[in-house]
Amino acid sequence: MIEQGPENKIGMKIYYDLNSGNAIVITPESAGIVVETTREQDFKLYKALDDKVPESVGMIQLEHGEYSLDRAEGGIIERVDLGTLKPLFSYPNPIAQEPQVPGISLSDQISDLNQRLLEANEQNGQLAEESTLNQIALMELHAMMLSLMPPEEAAPTEEVPAEDVPVEQAPEETANEE
């Protein structure tokens, strides 16, 4: 056991099954004058780990306070994503009685959405700049076309006389002779 100073903080450890990713034991985080346990000590200390083969169990240690937003929202670590080694949370839903499928933490979702928003804003700025350049190019083309046309073709001034417009004629009524 390694004794830590009062300034040290220890994040929680997630022990999980290497085949399924299911969480087996989640140790609490602590701060202050604390003793950080080793993997071997945890296997002796926690009954759920005591009967497991150590080589079949993985462990990730989180930073102190990591995923605190998720835990504050009632998130429960159910599994570890074996591809990313990030915890997967389920969140209680008081309305639905069905069990939830564990998913990405709210913290990771917020981080991902913030990144997407930054990328979208950057792309939006590029598209706005491109649109402005296209409008300028169209105005220049229009000006070039007008300069090549003779003045009378460039600005037609003839109006269509009113008498040339066809007038709808009412259909003639036919008399039925009986």
Q: Are strands 13-17 and 35-36 parallel, antiparallel or unpaired?
A: unpaired
Which pLDDT value is given to residue 16?
97
The token pair that represents 137 in the structure block:
């190019």
Are 48 and 55 within 8 A, CB to CB? no
* 34 contacts: CB under 8 Å, gap ≥ 6: 4, 8, 10
Separation CA 61–CA 163 (nearest Å): 89
Closest CA to 75 of 86, 91, 62, 88: 91
The token pair that represents 174 in the structure block:
């036919």
H/E run at residue 89:
strand 87-90
Question: Nearest 5°: CA angle at 121, between 84 and 67?
Answer: 35
pLDDT band at 178 (very low <50, low <70, confident <90, very high): very low
Closest CA to 58 of 20, 90, 32, 29: 20
pLDDT one-digit tens code per residue, 105-156: 778 888 888 899 999 889 998 988 999 999 999 999 988 888 888 877 655 5
The token pair that represents 105 in the structure block:
């933490």
pLDDT one-digit tens code per residue, 37-95: 999 999 999 999 988 999 999 999 999 999 988 888 888 899 999 999 999 998 877 77
